[in-house]
Amino acid sequence: MLKTKQTEKKAFATLTSHLKEVVECDIKMLELKKFNIIIIPMIERKHFYLICFDLENAKVEVIENMVSNSGFYRMSAGTKFKETGTPCKVKNYMVGYLKAMEHPSAARMAVATLTKKKMEWATSDNFNDCGVFTMRHMEMYKGSDIEFECGFST
């Protein structure tokens, strides 16, 4: 788990450790070369959302149920580590990991723009169901270039 008071080095080590757990320490899988999409579920200030890395199309998307981020997280890249929003930090950690693994998409992901996915079913006042939305978003996301339909009404 990434924590507010962690240093950049410690947070990177945490991400690497969690990746090892997910792939059950399979060295080949740790290289992530067999994956097109990596989805990282996040919780920040009791709000769930996703950071999706589309390695094939070199895109990084934040997916959540709210129209705006409503102060749950910042998308911006600050001049100092503490000023940088969590999605930007996670992108930087993932790019660092991809470079360390000599992943073929590392250079393209380093220059990929972090964007928030626009969805017709985004809500403006539903603060309680973000976990349900996040699970469905995780289940239905197939990449940045494929129509994203989750079955929610608008």
Q: What gap in Å lies between CA 22 and CA 128, rounded to an integer?
A: 28
Q: What gap in Å lies between CA 116 and CA 105, rounded to an integer?
A: 21
Positive or negative, the Cα torsion across 148, 41, 52, 5? positive
Q: What is the pLDDT of residue 59?
A: 92
Q: What gap in Å lies between CA 62 and CA 56, rounded to an integer?
A: 17
What residue ranges define each of the domains in the chain, with the CATH number in brackets?
8-140 (3.30.310)
Q: What is the pLDDT of residue 152?
A: 67
Q: What is the pLDDT of residue 115?
A: 85
Do the Cβ atoms of 117 and 65 come closer than 8 Å? no
Q: Which residues of the chain have pLDDT under 50?
A: none
